């Protein structure tokens, strides 16, 4: 099977979407598929992990680069670039299927094609990742992004969600009919992270080291995180909890608010985006991982932390946290995404090394749940159903309604 995979970026780019893209592409290649990744984060052609990587970064000063700066209409720049690159390759040697994320609809201009069925694997919709609009331009820009995502999802030959709860959110958000072939498929982790279960746990000497991996946004619970640190920093000043430090991966110093207390700021190390080896070392150094997201489509950080055997402090508001952290007892869940609630959940971990070890054991037991073999097999099965549905439509027959399959 020839697969065109559309990715905003691809490793070594250190983003959650790029990590997911590599897992999907390399798992499919490992199962015998011929995969070409089309990405905007580079130029030129290369290969890695059995996957062809075709980069076509927008030319600075070119028409699409200029279009991208426009509000609302700018969201069409990348889909136009993806469409041109994929269809040029498709004309030379046809693909059987294309796959893309829903996030900002990179494949919206490929949706509905009968000669190249499109499968959309849904991440978090853009509407959940934006701040509230402050101007008319912002509102129009957000409206355009949401409309394009909706059009791509509705025009897809098949749909994939990372969890059943996430699939239900996607269906409600985009107003889907339920007639497309669907599947619930969890993401795997890179082999090097799965091997991290052998990483030794830090001893109790010195400050308790905490880690946050993500962006400084409300969906990630960053406001709650800073609120909890401020509370616990005051506790540490009074000797009520032991000394601690918090490393922030993905958050540059400029993203820290000006009103953050000096006591809290002294315990925070904002490291910005880091390469994969530095991220691995940060996980290895951590006594616990803080991931107080209000909503995750899957939660790769949960899975990475479990693979390292690190207790995860998450938020009960997120269904994925309840499933992957709360259910196996791999860490405490804050009752809500607020500073006081998160501080209450974290405080016992700071105080009690034995409790950290107990959570570590349960984290290790819960890790490794999702493998590349399962990811590839379930994805190829959904591809086959999407291709069959597209062919049925091309012959003028309405495809049978299929309920989402929980894997």
Instruction: For the chain, give every domain's residue range.
Output: 2-188+372-406, 192-366
Residue 172 scores a pLDDT above 90? yes
Going by pLDDT thresholds of 50, 70 and 90, the confidence category of residue 193 is: confident
Per-residue pLDDT, 346: 98
Q: pTM of the prediction?
A: 0.87
**What's the average model confidence in pLDDT over 305-329?**
96
Q: Which two tokens stand for residue 267?
A: 């315990």
pLDDT of residue 191: 85
Flag whether pLDDT at 400 surpasses 50.
no
Residue 397 confidence (pLDDT): 56
What does the radius of gyration of the chain's CA atoms come to, in whole angstroms? 22
Q: What is the pLDDT of residue 190?
A: 85
**Does position 184 have pLDDT exceeding 60, yes or no?**
yes
Neighbours of 80 (CB within 10 A): 16
CATH for 192-366, options being 3.40.50.2000, 3.10.129.10, 3.55.40.20, 3.40.630.30: 3.40.50.2000
Convert the pLDDT of each residue in 331-376 to its tens digit.
999 999 999 999 999 999 999 999 999 999 999 999 988 999 999 9
pLDDT of residue 245 exceeding 60, the answer is yes
Contacts of 263 (CB under 8 A, 6+ apart): 230, 233, 234, 236, 237
From edge to edge, which strands make up the β-sheet containing 312-315? 268-272, 244-249, 208-213, 288-291, 312-315, 333-334
Say whether pLDDT at 176 is over 90.
yes
Query: In the 8-state DSSP scheme, what is residue 110?
Result: G
The verdict on domain 2-188+372-406 having CATH code 3.40.50.2000 is: yes
Q: Does 402 have pLDDT greater than 70?
A: no
Question: Which residue, 407, 378, 370, 367, is CA-closest to 31?
Answer: 378
Q: Please check the confidence at residue 103 and state whether its pLDDT lies above 60.
A: yes
Nearest CA among 105, 98, 155 for reference residue 125: 105
**pLDDT of residue 406 exceeding 50:** no
Query: What mean pLDDT value characterizes the chain?
Result: 93
Find the length of the chain. Answer: 407
pLDDT at residue number 62: 93
Backbone phi and psi for residue 119, each to the nearest 5 degrees, phi listed first: -110, 130
| pLDDT value at 407 more than 70 | no
Matching CATH topology for 2-188+372-406 and 192-366? yes
Alpha carbon distance 136, 156 (integer Å): 30
Distance CA 50, CA 362 (A): 34
Q: What average pLDDT score do residues 380-399 get?
A: 84
For residue 404, pLDDT over 60 is answered with no
CA distance 85 to 45: 12
Poorest-confidence range of 82-96, 170-184, 186-200? 186-200
pLDDT of 47 over the 90 cut: yes
pLDDT for 170: 96
SS3 48: strand
Mean pLDDT of 221-232: 97
Please tell me the predicted confidence (pLDDT) of residue 13: 83
């Amino acid at each position: 099977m020839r697969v065109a995979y559309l990715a905003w970026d691809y490793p070594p780019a250190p983003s959650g979407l790029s990590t997911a893209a590599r897992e999907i592409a390399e798992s499919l290649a490992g199962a015998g598929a011929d995969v070409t990744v089309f990405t905007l984060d580079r130029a030129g052609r290369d290969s890695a992990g059995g996957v062809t990587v075709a980069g076509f970064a927008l030319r600075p000063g070119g028409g699409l680069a200029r279009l991208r700066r426009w509000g609302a209409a700018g969201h069409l720049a990348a889909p136009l670039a993806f469409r041109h690159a994929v269809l040029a390759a498709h004309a030379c040697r046809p693909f059987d299927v294309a796959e893309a994320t829903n996030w900002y609809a990179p494949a919206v201009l490929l949706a509905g094609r009968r000669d190249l069925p499109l499968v959309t694997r849904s991440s978090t919709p853009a509407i959940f990742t934006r701040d509230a609009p402050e101007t008319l331009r912002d509102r129009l820009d957000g409206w355009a992004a949401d409309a394009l995502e909706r059009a791509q999802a509705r025009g897809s030959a098949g749909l994939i969600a990372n969890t059943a709860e996430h699939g239900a959110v996607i269906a409600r958000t985009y107003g889907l009919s339920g007639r497309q072939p669907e599947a619930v498929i969890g993401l795997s982790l890179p082999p090097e992270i799965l091997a991290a279960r052998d990483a030794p746990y830090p001893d109790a000497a010195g400050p308790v080291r905490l880690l946050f991996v993500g962006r400084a946004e409300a969906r990630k619970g960053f406001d709650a995180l800073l609120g909890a640190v401020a509370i616990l920093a005051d506790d540490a000043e009074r000797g009520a909890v032991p000394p601690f430090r918090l490393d922030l991966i993905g958050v540059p110093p400029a993203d820290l608010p000006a009103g953050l207390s000096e006591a809290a700021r002294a315990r925070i190390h904002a490291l910005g985006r880091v390469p994969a080896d530095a991220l691995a070392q940060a996980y290895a150094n951590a006594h616990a991982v803080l991931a107080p997201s209000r909503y995750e489509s899957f939660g790769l950080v949960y899975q990475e932390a479990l693979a390292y055997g690190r207790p995860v402090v998450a938020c009960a508001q997120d269904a994925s946290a309840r499933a992957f952290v709360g259910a196996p007892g791999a860490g405490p869940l804050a009752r809500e995404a607020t500073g006081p609630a998160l501080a209450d959940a974290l405080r016992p971990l700071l105080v009690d090394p034995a409790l950290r070890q107990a959570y570590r054991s349960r984290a290790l037991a819960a890790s490794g749940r999702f493998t590349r073999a399962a990811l590839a097999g379930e994805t190829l099965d959904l591809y086959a159903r999407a291709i069959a549905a597209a062919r049925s439509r091309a012959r003028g027959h309405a495809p049978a309604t299929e309920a989402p399959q929980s894997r």
